[in-house]
Amino acid sequence: MMRKQFGLTQVECAKKAGVGLMFIRDLEQGKKSLRMDKVNQVLQLFGAELGVIRQNEK
């Protein structure tokens, strides 16, 4: 889990990403339906981004 590798608590991660604590908990627990924009807010902390990959590009 990248959050732990960066030494962040769930509260710190939520605050730095600008999302709620419940969102971080849902994300880490693998909730199947999350807002992509909020996921990207969290991923930006770690230099990553969620996006579309076309099947023929694999």
Q: Is residue 55 part of a domain?
A: no
Q: Is residue 11 part of a domain?
A: yes
Domain CATH code at residue 25: 1.10.260.40
Q: How many domains in the chain? A: 1
Domain that holds residue 35: 2-50
Scan for tokens 């909730």, then name that residue.
31
When pLDDT is averaged across residues 15-41 and rounded to a whole number, the result is 97
Q: What percent of the chain has pLDDT over 90?
A: 84
- Residue 19's pLDDT is 98
What does the mean pLDDT of the chain come to?
A: 94
Q: Is the pLDDT of residue 58 over 90?
A: no
Q: Is residue 40 part of a domain?
A: yes
- Residue 57's pLDDT is 62
Q: Is residue 58 part of a domain?
A: no
Q: Is the pLDDT of residue 16 over 70?
A: yes
- 3-28 in b/e burial notation, b at 16+ Cβ within 10 A? beeeebebeebbeebebeeebbebbe
Q: Is residue 56 part of a domain?
A: no
